[in-house]
Structure 1
Amino acid sequence: MSRLATRLVAVLAPVALLLPAGAHAAKVVTEDAVGDAVTLIDESTDLDEPTPAPDHAGTDVVRTAVAHGAKRLRVRVAFRALERDPFQFIVIRVRTPHGNYELVVERLGGKPITSIDLGRRTVDCDGLGAKVDLRADTVTASLPTSCLDAPRWVQIGVGAVSVSGQQGNPELGAAYADDAHRDGAIRDNIATGPKVRRG
Structure 2
Amino acid sequence: MHTTVTRTALGLLAAVLLTAGLSAPASAERYIHHDPAHDVRKVSVMSMGNDGFVRAPHRKQGDYVKVKIWHQVRAVRVVGKFRRLDRVGQGLIQIVSIRTPDGSERTFQVFAGPGMWKGVDSDEAGENCVVGHHVNYRRDRFSMRISRSCLDRPRWVKVGVGFITLNRRDLTADDAQLRKVRNDLTYSPRLGHA
Normalising by the residue count of structure 1, what TM-score does the alignment of the two structures yield?
A: 0.74
Alpha carbons of structure 1 residues 181 and 127: separation in structure 2 relative to 1, 3 Å: closer
User: Per the alignment, in what secondary structure is the counterpart of residue 150 of structure 1?
Assistant: coil
Residue 162 of structure 2 is aligned with which of 140, 159, 163?
A: 159
1: CA distance, partners of 2:88 / 2:47:
27
Q: Please tell me whether the aligned partners of residues 121 and 130 of structure 2 are also in contact (alpha carbons under 8 angstroms).
A: no
2: CA distance, partners of 1:146 / 1:42:
37
Residue 80 of structure 2 is aligned with which of 77, 96, 113?
A: 77
Q: Identify the residue that residue 190 of structure 2 maps to in structure 1.
A: 195
Question: Taking every aligned residue pair, what percent have the same amino acid on both sides?
Answer: 26
- In the TM superposition, 1:41-60 aligns within 5 A as 41-44=44-47, 47-48=50-51, 50-60=53-63
- In the TM superposition, 1:12-161 aligns within 5 A as 26-44=29-47, 47-48=50-51, 50-86=53-89, 87-98=91-102, 99-108=104-113, 109-116=116-123, 124-125=127-128, 128-161=131-164
User: Per the alignment, in what secondary structure is the counterpart of residue 189 of structure 1?
Assistant: coil
Shift of residue 174 of structure 1?
1.6
1: CA distance, partners of 2:53 / 2:129:
38
2: CA distance, partners of 1:94 / 1:116:
15
Alpha carbons of structure 1 residues 127 and 141: separation in structure 2 relative to 1, 3 Å: closer
Q: Identify the residue that residue 181 of structure 1 maps to in structure 2.
A: 177
Residues 77-131 of structure 1 deviation map (CA, whole Å, 9 limit, x = unaligned): 11111022351111111111131010101011332111258xxxx8812662211
Shift of residue 143 of structure 1?
2.5
Instruction: State the superposition RMSD in angstroms.
Output: 2.3
Q: Specify which structure has the higher proportion of helix.
A: 2
2: CA distance, partners of 1:68 / 1:152:
10
Alpha carbons of structure 1 residues 49 and 85: separation in structure 2 relative to 1, 3 Å: closer
2: CA distance, partners of 1:127 / 1:190:
19
User: Per the alignment, in what secondary structure is the counterpart of residue 146 of structure 1?
Assistant: helix
Gaps of 5+ in 1: 1-20, 166-172
1: CA distance, partners of 2:33 / 2:126:
27
User: Per the alignment, in what secondary structure is the counterpart of residue 122 of structure 2?
Assistant: strand
2: CA distance, partners of 1:38 / 1:127:
27
2: CA distance, partners of 1:191 / 1:151:
20
Shift of residue 45 of structure 1?
5.7
Q: Please tell me whether the aligned partners of residues 48 and 186 of structure 1 are also in contact (alpha carbons under 8 angstroms).
A: no
Alpha carbons of structure 1 residues 149 and 93: separation in structure 2 relative to 1, 3 Å: same
Gaps of 5+ in 2: 1-21
User: Per the alignment, in what secondary structure is the counterpart of residue 67 of structure 2?
Assistant: strand
Letter of the structure 2 residue corresponding to residue 36 of structure 1: D
Q: Specify which structure has the higher proportion of strand.
A: 1
Alpha carbons of structure 1 residues 148 and 116: separation in structure 2 relative to 1, 3 Å: farther
Deviation >3 Å, runs of 4+: none
Q: Identify the residue that residue 15 of structure 1 maps to in structure 2.
A: none
